[in-house]
């Protein structure tokens, strides 16, 4: 969890907004630091977290989590974290009876039309259990990332439907929150990714967009982050709707500063 990002978003683990979809988007840079931020943020907030991790292994997330002060192993043992490790369980799909439902069932189908098994996994993971109700505050779904589903042969509309159902269940029915990462390829010919990105942008309440600098790599400024609030509660609120900051990723922290105000420049 990066305290400076919490300040920018005007939130803390104790008073995070519920029922919201936060879209993380990265273009020409790696936005995974945002995923690590939200994972540690919601674990600290004592939420029940379902983490659909399709990009990295559990140990990778665990090591980064430890740097940020949370132990994923402990959270998993306590039942706070339910993790779908895509790299590991994708192999399981091929070595089990076809009748058994598997969240990544689409990998086995020739033309994957629906992500319903994945949604059912999420629904099952975050289903409120009576004995646990007092322990965890609210459910959270975290996905890293949705673009890889396109690469695995799922259509953009199927991914949008999956997000729609997760939103209806997690954000609306269970009053929880949802965070998902999508890559912006910046390629006009990648129509599926454009549909996914724009469709998700329209569904989300808050968009965090990390972009690499147009001038290329820089040692002291790693990129810029644009924060866009899409549905403010008060349409005429004085809060700025969109903010842009530059950031530098450090070992255990990320520092944010106004554009052109990097400590290395001043």
Kindly list the residues in this chain that would bind other proteins in the complex (CB under 8 A).
114, 116, 119, 157, 160-161, 164-165, 168, 172, 194-195, 198-199, 201-203, 207, 228, 230-232, 234-236, 241-242
- CB closer to other proteins, 30 vs 161: 161
Hey, how many other C-beta atoms are within 10 angstroms of the C-beta on 55? 17
Nearest residue to 185 via CA among 49, 26, 39, 22: 26
Answer for the pair 140, 122: CB distance below 8 angstroms, yes or no: no
Residue number with CB closer to other proteins (73 or 241): 241
Provide the minimum distance between the beta carbon of 102 and other proteins in the complex, in angstroms, as a whole number.
17
For the CB of residue 12, give the shortest distance to other proteins in the complex, in Å: 24
Considering only CA atoms, give the Rg of the chain: 18
**Minimum CB distance to other proteins smaller for 172 or for 217:** 172
Residue 61: other Cβ atoms inside 10 A: 23
Kindly tell me which of 195 and 218 has the beta carbon lying closer to other proteins. Answer: 195
Q: What do you get for the CA distance between the two ends of the chain, in Å? A: 27
CB of 49 to other proteins, least distance (A): 22
Q: Which two tokens stand for residue 74?
A: 């402990």
Nearer to other proteins, 21 or 64 (CB): 21
Residue linked to tokens 């598997």: 102
156 CB-contact burial (10 Å; exposed 0-12 / middle 13-18 / buried 19+)? buried
Please, what's the b/e burial string for 222-240 (b: 16 or more CB within 10 A of its CB; e: otherwise)? Answer: bbbbebbbbeeeeeeeeee
- Closest distance between other proteins and the C-beta of residue 203, in Å? 7
Q: Of 186 and 232, which has the nearer Cβ to other proteins?
A: 232
Residue 81 vs 160, nearer CB to other proteins: 160
Closest CB 234 distance from other proteins, rounded Å: 5
Task: Give min distance, CB of 201 to other proteins, in A.
Answer: 4
CB atoms within 10 A of CB 56: 17
**Helix or strand or coil: residue 35?**
helix
Query: Shortest Cβ distance from residue 73 to other proteins (Å)?
Result: 33
């Amino acid at each position: 969890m990066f305290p400076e990002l919490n300040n920018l978003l005007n939130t803390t683990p104790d008073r995070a907004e519920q029922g919201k979809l936060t879209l993380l988007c990265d273009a020409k840079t790696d936005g995974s630091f945002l995923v690590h931020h939200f994972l540690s943020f919601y674990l600290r907030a004592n939420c029940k977290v379902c983490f659909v991790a399709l990009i990295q292994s559990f140990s990778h997330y665990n090591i980064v989590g430890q740097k940020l002060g949370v132990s994923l192993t402990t959270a998993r043992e306590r039942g706070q974290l339910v993790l779908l490790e895509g790299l590991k369980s994708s192999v399981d799909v091929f070595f089990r009876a076809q009748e058994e439902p598997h969240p990544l069932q689409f990998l086995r189908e020739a033309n994957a039309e629906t992500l319903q098994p994945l949604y059912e996994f999420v629904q099952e993971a975050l289903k409120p259990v009576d004995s646990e109700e007092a322990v965890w505050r609210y459910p959270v779904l975290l996905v890293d990332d949705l673009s890889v589903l396109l690469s695995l042969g799922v259509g953009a509309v199927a991914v949008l439907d999956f997000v729609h159902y997760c939103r209806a269940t997690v954000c609306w029915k269970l009053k929880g929150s949802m965070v998902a990462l999508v890559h912006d390829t910046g390629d006009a010919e990648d129509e599926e990714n454009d549909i996914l990105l724009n469709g998700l942008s329209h569904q989300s309440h808050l968009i965090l967009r990390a972009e690499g600098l147009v001038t290329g790599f820089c040692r002291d400024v790693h990129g810029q982050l644009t924060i866009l609030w899409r549905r403010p509660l008060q349409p005429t609120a004085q809060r700025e709707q969109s903010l842009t900051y530059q950031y530098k990723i450090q070992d255990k922290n990320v520092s944010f500063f106004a554009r052109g105000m990097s400590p290395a420049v001043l």
